[in-house]
Amino acid sequence: MSKEKNPRRVADNEAMAKLRMLKTSPQKLNLVAGLIRGQKVEKALTDLTFSKKRIAIDVKKCLQSAIANAENNHGLDVDDLIVAEAWVGKNLTMKRGRPRARGRFGKILKPFAELTITVRQVEETS
């Protein structure tokens, strides 16, 4: 009497990877995620490798994880993958502070973000 298997969250020709607790603001992360949306995975990996943004390293790790999930868990062909979706969400925000002049308190917010990347296999129409 085991439980039934959970249904897949994505289609049969898709795979997904998620990173949580990235130490950057969602706004900055979305700039890097926007670079790779809709691109072939080879081009996206190249763009992330040569990006000057610090968070591009973590985005590249997430993309590589999604590619590995597609290949190993779902049997998809790596050469036909594109980045179908890359979306960013908020996570927690640490509240810190600093003493300021005349007994006041300067609020410092340290935001965290999360990233979800979905890759999809598309057939080449040449």
Whether 119 and 80 have beta carbons less than 8 Å apart is answered as no
Read off the tokens for 8. 């897949």
Residue 126: per-residue pLDDT = 55
Q: Give the bridge partners for 19, in sequence order.
A: 115
Is the pTM higher than 0.75? yes
Which residues of the chain fall below pLDDT 70?
Answer: 125-126
Helix axes 41-49, 56-68, angle to 10 degrees: 150
Amino acid at 62: C
Pairwise CA distance, residues 25 & 50, whole Å: 21
Residue 43: per-residue pLDDT = 97
Pairwise CA distance, residues 17 & 69, whole Å: 8
